[in-house]
């Protein structure tokens, strides 16, 4: 059995949850997370547990699930958007589905995520309820974004992936693990910090700017930096960097000396198609149309 497969433990054996996944994050490694996508097992599962905190996200279809934990039976409707959140080592005494449905199974690697979001990872590891099943559009949207990025070959870059990762961890910790927000640190960036950050981003637009790099510049953890940044500016670090890239691209397009593909490379986009997509999101027009209308 490959070490990168998602497995659960039953009767002293490690068993793959999905027999033949058609999407695997191992094909496009994602820092701190592993996930697979396929149809779920349609047969009952025996007593089992997961060695890592696991999310099972229903991507399509309709069904139901009966499951037993700590001697109590529970029943849930399983439909698109349903997410089951199972803390590591929580024992499920039995799980009885009424059939097979398409799912995405995601696991958190706490050891790897501690450097990305230490407070949130600790909260998830220590204060997450053992088993929760929820219809949560925001959580489903984050998982869908991760799924779509891997399906597309992770072409949006490390900054986008880090943004999804920190947002997912922050949401899980705040919504499902934390009852008291008093642990949060001061949610403001000082003017000098903001100027330093803006200068750093503008000087490195053509490089692979990351949330971790920006956070390190200010001596913060990536998760605290992302929260503080958004609280102060009203947009995420990813959106901020994209906005700066688009503004620089406008200047280069106005110069009329570089092709759209060259402009994309100059401002840090891995492909011209991604550049055109982001440019249109911010301006309402394609780079070609923008240049034509100058």
Convert the pLDDT of each residue in 122-176 to its tens digit.
889 888 888 999 999 999 999 999 999 988 888 888 888 889 999 999 999 988 8
Concatenated DSSP letters for 166-213? Answer: HHHHHHHIIIII-S-GGG-------HHHHHHHHHHHHHTTTS---HHH
Concatenated DSSP letters for 225-247? Answer: HHHHHHHHHSS-HHHHHHHHHHH
Convert the pLDDT of each residue in 205-221 to its tens digit.
988 888 988 988 888 88
**Cα dist. 73→65, 90, 96, 109 in Å?**
10, 15, 10, 29
Asked whether 173 and 195 are in contact (CB, 8 A), the reply is no
Residue 52 structure tokens:
């890592």
Domains and CATH numbers, the chain: 18-177 (2.60.120.10), 185-294 (1.10.10.60)
* Residue 13: HSE in the Cβ half-sphere, 13 Å Cα cutoff: 6
pLDDT less than 70: residues of the chain: 1-3, 178-187
Residue 269: the pLDDT is 93
Q: What does pTM read for this prediction?
A: 0.73
Residue 181: the pLDDT is 42
């Amino acid at each position: 059995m490959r070490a990168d497969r998602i497995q659960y433990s039953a009767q002293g054996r490690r068993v793959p949850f999905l027999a033949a996944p058609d999407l695997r994050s191992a094909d496009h490694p994602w820092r701190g997370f592993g996930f697979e996508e396929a149809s779920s097992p349609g047969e009952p599962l025996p007593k089992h547990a997961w060695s890592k905190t696991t999310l099972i996200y229903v991507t399509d279809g309709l069904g139901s699930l009966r499951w037993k934990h700590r001697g109590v039976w529970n029943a849930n409707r399983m439909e698109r958007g349903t997410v089951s959140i199972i803390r590591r080592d929580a024992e499920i005494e039995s799980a009885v589905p009424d059939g097979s449905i398409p799912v995405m199974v995601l696991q958190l690697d706490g050891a790897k995520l501690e450097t990305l979001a230490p407070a949130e990872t600790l909260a998830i590891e220590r204060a997450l309820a053992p088993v929760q099943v929820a219809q949560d559009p925001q959580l489903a949207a984050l998982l869908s974004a991760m799924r779509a990025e891997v399906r597309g070959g992770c072409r949006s870059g490390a900054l986008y992936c880090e943004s999804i990762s920190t947002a997912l961890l922050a949401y899980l910790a705040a919504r499902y693990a934390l009852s008291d927000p008093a642990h949060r640190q001061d949610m403001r960036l000082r003017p000098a910090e903001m100027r330093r950050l803006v200068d750093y981003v503008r000087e490195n637009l053509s490089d692979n700017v990351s949330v971790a790099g920006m956070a390190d510049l200010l001596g913060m953890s990536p998760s605290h930096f992302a929260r503080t940044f958004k609280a102060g500016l009203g947009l995420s670090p990813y959106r901020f960097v994209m906005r700066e890239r688009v503004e620089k691209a406008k200047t280069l397009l106005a110069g009329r000396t570089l092709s759209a593909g060259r402009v994309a490379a100059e401002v840090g986009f891995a492909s011209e198609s991604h550049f055109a997509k982001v440019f249109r999101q911010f301006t309402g027009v394609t780079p070609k149309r923008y240049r034509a209308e100058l």
